Chains A and B, each alone.
Chain A
Amino acid sequence: MEKEEFPLKKVCIICSKGTIESIYPALILANGALMEGIQAKLFFTFFGLDAVTKKFIKKIHTPVVGNPSLRLPGNIPFPTLLGILPGMEALATSMMKSQMEKLDIPTIPEFMEYIVAGGGEIFACKLAMDMFGLKKEDLIDDVKDILTVGEFYALCGGQGTQILFI
C-alpha cells in the first residue's frame, strides 16, 4: 500500500530559554518556514520571554559556564572555571554575534520584523509573564497577543502541523 504524504503546512514553535543558542534556532526555524510558504507561530515562555521583552531583547547572551560545547577559535576547549571571570560572557557573546553578522544572519529584532512581515505570529506566555511580573507594555510591538497554553494549542490544529519545543 502506498503511503500518503502530507506536506508540512504549519509549525508552532515554543521557545523556553533565553540564551542565544535557544532563541536563534527558534527564530531561524520560524523565519525559514515562512520563506518556504509554511505558516509559523512562535510562543515565548519562561526565560524565552527575554527575546520579546523590550528591556532584554538586545541583551541576549550565550552562557559560558556549564557549556561543554563552547570552544575558543581553533577548537581550544573553554573550561567552565574561565567562564566565571568577569566579561567572559560578554566576550563570548560578541564573538558569536560577529560570526553571525559575517554570515548575514539577522539580529533578534530583525528576525522579529521578518517573521511578522512574512505573516508569522508571535505570542507570549501568560503564566510566565505573571511569574516575572511582566506587562504587555514591557513586550516588543511584534508580539501579537499574550496567551494561555490552551489558547496557544487552539492555534496549533490542522493537518500538516508540527509543534517544536526549543
Chain B
Amino acid sequence: MATKVYVNKEVNVNDEGFLTDPSQWSVDIAREIAKEEGILLTPKHLEVINYIRERVLKGETISMRSINKSGIVNVKELYELFPNTPLKLACKIAGVSKPASCV
C-alpha cells in the first residue's frame, strides 16, 4: 500500500490520494491535503469536513443531499468551498474513502 507523509506523519493512501485509514487523519493533515488541492481551509470547510467524518465513521453513505440537508452549507456553497468535484474533494480532505455515491 502507498504511503504519504503529511506534517511529519506517514499515512496510508490509495492511488488517488485518499486516506485508507480515517483514524490517521488530523486537522493539520487536512490542511496539507487541501493545500495540495489549492484550497485554504476555513472554519466553514472544517464544519463540512467534520460533518462528513461524523457521518462516514458511523457507517453512513455521504451524498450531496445529506450535506445539503445538514444545515451547514447548501449545494451552491459546497461547490464554492470545494470546486469542481465537491463531494470527492471534501471526502479526500476529510480523510475518508472516496464516496460511492452517484448523487
A complexed with B? yes
Residue pair B85, A35 in contact (C-beta under 8 Å): yes
| Interface presence of B9 (CB below 8 A) | no
* Size of interface on A: residues with Cβ below 8 Å to B: 15
**Interchain CA distance A37-B102 in the complex, whole Å:** 13
| Interface presence of B8 (CB below 8 A) | no
**CB within 8 Å of A: which B59-103 residues:** 61, 63-66, 68, 74-76, 78-79, 84-88, 102-103
**Interchain CA distance A106-B101 in the complex, whole Å:** 12
Residue pair B84, A37 in contact (C-beta under 8 Å): yes
Interface of B is mostly: helix
* Size of interface on B: residues with Cβ below 8 Å to A: 18
Residue pair A36, B85 in contact (C-beta under 8 Å): yes
**Interchain CA distance A108-B22 in the complex, whole Å:** 34
Q: Of the candidates B87, B88, B103, which one forms a contact with A104 in the assembled complex, judged by CB atoms under 8 Å apart?
A: B103
Given A28-B103, A114-B75, is A106 in contact with B85 using a C-beta cutoff of 8 Å?
no
Given A106-B64, A106-B65, A106-B103, is A113 in contact with B84 using a C-beta cutoff of 8 Å?
no
Report which B residues bind A (CB closer than 8 A): 61, 63-66, 68, 74-76, 78-79, 84-88, 102-103
